Amino acid sequence: MNITKHALQRMTERGFTPEMLVALMNGKYVIKSSLQGRFIVIGQVDGNIWAVVLDSDFYTVITVRRAHKDEETLWTLR
């Protein structure tokens, strides 16, 4: 995966490690389309629900954050 500089900074700030990204992508997740042709991958790692924003190529990580309430709901209803 290609991790942008912004995404790497956000990962570091939020305590989200590359190993956690691998765990999220290798586990169960939900993909939601977003504005601007991007996609949000929602999954659970270490007991927290995270959202990884990917570019339209599904290869470039734009940012990583804790999931918003509507994304948490989507995750629990999967």
* pLDDT digit string, tens, across residues 26-68: 999 999 998 888 999 999 999 999 999 999 998 999 999 999 9
In the predicted structure, residue 1 carries a pLDDT above the cut 90? no
CA distance 72 to 23: 18
20 touches 45 (CB < 8 A) = yes
pLDDT digits (tens, 9 = 90+) for 14-29: 999 989 999 999 999 9
Token pair, residue 47, equals 């007991």
CA distance 1 to 53: 12
Token pair, residue 34, equals 């977003």
CA distance 78 to 58: 21
Q: How many CB atoms lie within 10 A of CB 29?
A: 18
Give residue 2's pLDDT band: very low, low, confident or very high (50, 70, 90). confident
- pTM higher than 0.85, yes or no? yes
pLDDT at 43: 97
